[in-house]
Structure 1
Amino acid sequence: MSRLTVYRDDAPGKLLLDLSTPGEIAETLRPHNIRFERWAAPVTPAKDASTDDILDAYRPYLNALMGETGAGSADVVRINAQTPNLPELRQKFLSEHTHSEDEVRFFVHGQGAFVLHIKGRVYSVLCEQGDLISVPTGIPHWFDAGTSPDVVALRVFTDKTGWIADYTGDDIAERFPAEVVPTTAAQI
């Protein structure tokens, strides 16, 4: 289930807000220019579907999104137990960083948490199948799909070089670990 939890950045145990309705999540993130949507595609491709089949299934949504944002391309990323250098890759995602381009992800399968550090607050957004999130340029954040990820996601971009992480050096991600629920066979 999608979820948004909010904490003060100086109080990891002090929960300020806990939401699980996509509309409420979107409304809470909107003032920070973070886009959160639930897409209801008529068909969800199989987890092992080809990249082309996945892109074709979401083409109407992607065309509309890219037309609005000026993004020029989309691709498919898979993160699972077979991902090369998974522990090192995960560690890179877990450090607070920013990008020079919006980070746009749509979860085709699986889940992951984007944790955002904004104006003295930490917003942990657990995204699941059907969720789109767009983190604007310059917002400090980190990401976690858990220790045993099984994610298929669309990435939307204008220029892939904008994805190069600019690490902040803040250890806040260690104090606020992402809240990822282990995926069970029943959820797959």
Structure 2
Amino acid sequence: MTYLTVYGEDAELLQRTENPAEIAATLGEIGVRLRHWDVVATGPSADDVLAAYAEQIAKVNAEESYTFVDVAQLGPDADPEVAAGARAKFLNEHTHDDDEVRFFARGAGIFYLHVNGRVHAVLCEAGDLLSVPAKTTHWFDMGTRPDFCAIRFFHDDDGWIGDFTGDAISSRIPDFDAITAGR
């Protein structure tokens, strides 16, 4: 189930909810959309995942004019060094020139959206499709034991490149492991 925690920039807890209407309203205030798809069984390869969700992908591409779609995934059997490197890559605050649109076909991850002096930590799980507008300041945490499979949508194949802000705010806000430990 999707979970939203909102913090002040000093890590003060401001809001915590699992209520879908409350989550949608809070995210809507910052231009972020959260939708849900039915989860279907897929094979392990990226091609299997893309084939299983082909109809939904085509609909999103038609609505939003995305031209490039791929799959990012890590499982609990991943090499620990590879997993740690992948996690570290996006743990620092950054923006993208393209929208950040992810559908979680399996597992979970947290998108931290730093907007208007608040950090919205959105725990996305299987079935969640999160759409974050281009230039939104954010970071992503998959935890110390990543287990997720996400379909990523882009307007071009360079859309995933991050422009890092240098702000250390991500070190002050509870990480994936801390947030999910209490659930």
State the Cα deviation string for residues 18-47 of structure 1 (Å, max 9, x = none): 111333212211121111111124x3325x
2:50 is aligned with what amino acid? Answer: L
CA distance in 2, matches of 1:155, 1:23: 25
Match of 1:4 in 2: 4
Task: Give the alignment's TM-score, normalised by structure 1.
Answer: 0.87
What CA RMSD, in Å, does the superposition of the two structures yield over aligned residues? 1.7
Task: Give the total of aligned pairs.
Answer: 177
Q: In structure 2, which of residues 90, 93, 98 is the aligned counterpart of residue 96 of structure 1?
A: 93
1:2 is aligned with what amino acid? Answer: T
1:29 is aligned with what amino acid? Answer: L
Q: Secondary structure of the equivalent of 1:143?
A: strand
State the Cα deviation string for residues 79-124 of structure 1 (Å, max 9, x = none): 2342563222211211000000001111010000000100011100
Q: In structure 2, which of residues 9, 18, 21 is the aligned counterpart of residue 20 of structure 1?
A: 18
Are positions 1:72 and 2:67 aligned together?
Answer: yes
Shift of 1:152: 0.9
Q: Secondary structure of the equivalent of 1:115?
A: strand
Task: Give the alignment's TM-score, normalised by structure 2.
Answer: 0.89
Are positions 1:51 and 2:49 aligned together?
Answer: no
8 A contact 1:124–1:179 mirrored in 2: no
State the Cα deviation string for residues 98-155 of structure 1 (Å, max 9, x = none): 0000011110100000001000111000000000111111111110110000111111
8 A contact 1:2–1:126 mirrored in 2: yes
Q: Secondary structure of the equivalent of 1:110?
A: strand
- Percent identity, please: 45
Are positions 1:167 and 2:164 aligned together?
Answer: yes
Match of 1:82 in 2: 78
Match of 2:58 in 1: 63
2:52 is aligned with what amino acid? Answer: A
Q: Secondary structure of the equivalent of 2:78?
A: coil
Q: Secondary structure of the equivalent of 1:90?
A: helix
